[in-house]
Amino acid sequence: MAAAGSRPKLIDEHIGRINSGTESVSVAHMRSPGEWQEPGQTPAFDDFTVVLSGLLCVEYHQGTLDVRAGQAVVARRGEWVRYSTPETEGAEYIAVCLPAFSMETVHRDAGR
């Protein structure tokens, strides 16, 4: 699956619209390089993320959360969010989206 962002990141969707035709949920293994940032988004799905290694920064209108290995974060549908991996080693994490992720429902910021 192609990824948005300032540098290429690897996405392996195990369950979801692309690999299993599942619209109710998607489960993806993500590997983002260091100093990576994607455009902000206001998705129409809940995004549950568990960080396996590294640091994932999750920016909301209210501030930024630093989510490290062994920690999790929930981004609720309709809430603006932007993800980044500012440390040089990047981050590895699992993202579960309900309903499943799609390009039509991620609603990235204009111009991205």
CATH number at residue 61: 2.60.120.10
Residue 4 located in a structural domain:
no
Residue 55 located in a structural domain:
yes
Q: Work out the percent of the chain whose per-residue pLDDT is above 90.
A: 90
Residue 53 located in a structural domain:
yes
Residue 110 located in a structural domain:
no
Residue 108 located in a structural domain:
no
Q: What is the pLDDT of residues 83-98, one digit of tens each?
A: 999 999 999 999 999 9
Q: How many domains does the chain have?
A: 1
Residue 78 located in a structural domain:
yes
3-state secondary structure string, 20-46? CCCCCCEEEEEEECCCEECCCECCCCE
Enter the pTM of the model: 0.91
Q: Is the peptide bond before 99 cis (omega within 30 degrees of 0)?
A: yes
Residue 48 located in a structural domain:
yes
